Amino acid sequence: MHVHVHNTYAHTSKHLWIHILYLTLTGFSHNSGIEKEIGALQLEEKKLVAEIKKTAKTGNEAATKILARQLIRLRQQIANLQGSRAQMRGIATHTQAVHAQSSIAVGMKGASKAMSAMNKQMAPAKQAKVIREFQKQSAQMDMTTEMMSDAIDDALDDDEAEDETEGLTNQVLDEIGVDVASQLSSAPKGRVAGKTTEDVSSSSMNDLENRLAALRNP
């Protein structure tokens, strides 16, 4: 009987640690990728803010507001990735908790009692419930971020929502310290101030738009 219990414990432990190792390693890999992408987008954000301020000084209001709308979309992408990062941390926290509880059980009560404790922790019904709850919360977060993204895109793209678009744009400009009216009055007159929207579309702007499009359609 003792041998049977030991073998059962060893079998249970093996699958438990494989499960924890898999979740931890895959979670770390995904989270590391998300961290890099967030960092890259935040760098793009700083560059875009600088470009907005530079463009505002030329007195080109139309181009300044186009860039501000790009900044709104960029920040939404960063927020979405930060939500995904929070989900991955939730997985890591759960696996670490199972690991800690099992380790304590091994040290305090011996192999046979630890086996019983782990069986309760890793019981199929309980694990299924935890996974379902996590999937439910993840789905709700995904739905929320998707709705926020859609709402912002609709506000920025819909001609009928011009007031809302203007409000979002002005809010961002105020936040980064750009006063369009003031910049217009102090901007140099002539050809520089009269540039069209197309003149402002630099290669860096195109790169940013392509990056945002790729994020929206992975």
pLDDT at 191: 43
Q: Which of 201, 211, 162, 187 is nearest to 67 (CA)?
A: 201
Mean pLDDT of 190-196: 45
pLDDT at 82: 85
115 has a pLDDT exceeding 50: yes
- Between 5 and 50, whose confidence is greater? 50
Whole-angstrom Cα distance, residue 58 to residue 132?
55
The first and second tokens of residue 59, run together, are 């007195």
Q: With pLDDT > 90 as the criterion, what percentage of the chain qualifies?
A: 4
Q: Where are the alpha helices (DSSP H) in the chain?
A: 2-57, 61-121, 124-157, 162-175, 180-186, 203-216
Q: Which amino acid is at 127?
A: Q
The length of the chain is 218
- Between 125 and 75, whose confidence is greater? 75
The first and second tokens of residue 166, run together, are 């203007």
Predicted TM-score (pTM) of the model is 0.47
pLDDT digits (tens, 9 = 90+) for 66-110: 888 888 888 888 888 888 777 777 666 666 666 566 555 555 555
pLDDT at 108: 53
pLDDT at 96: 62
Q: Which residue has the tokens 């046979």?
A: 112
DSSP one-letter code for 123: -
pLDDT at 43: 93
pLDDT at 44: 92
Whole-angstrom Cα distance, residue 6 to residue 201?
70
**Torsion angle of alpha carbons 53, 55, 61, 67, nearest 10°?**
-80
**Torsion angle of alpha carbons 49, 55, 61, 62, nearest 10°?**
-80
For residue 54, the SS3 value is helix
Q: Which of 212, 214, 205 is nearest to 67 (CA)?
A: 205
30 has a pLDDT exceeding 80: no
Whole-angstrom Cα distance, residue 51 to residue 203?
12
Mean pLDDT value across the chain: 66
Q: Which of 90, 85, 84, 91 is nearest to 19 (CA)?
A: 91
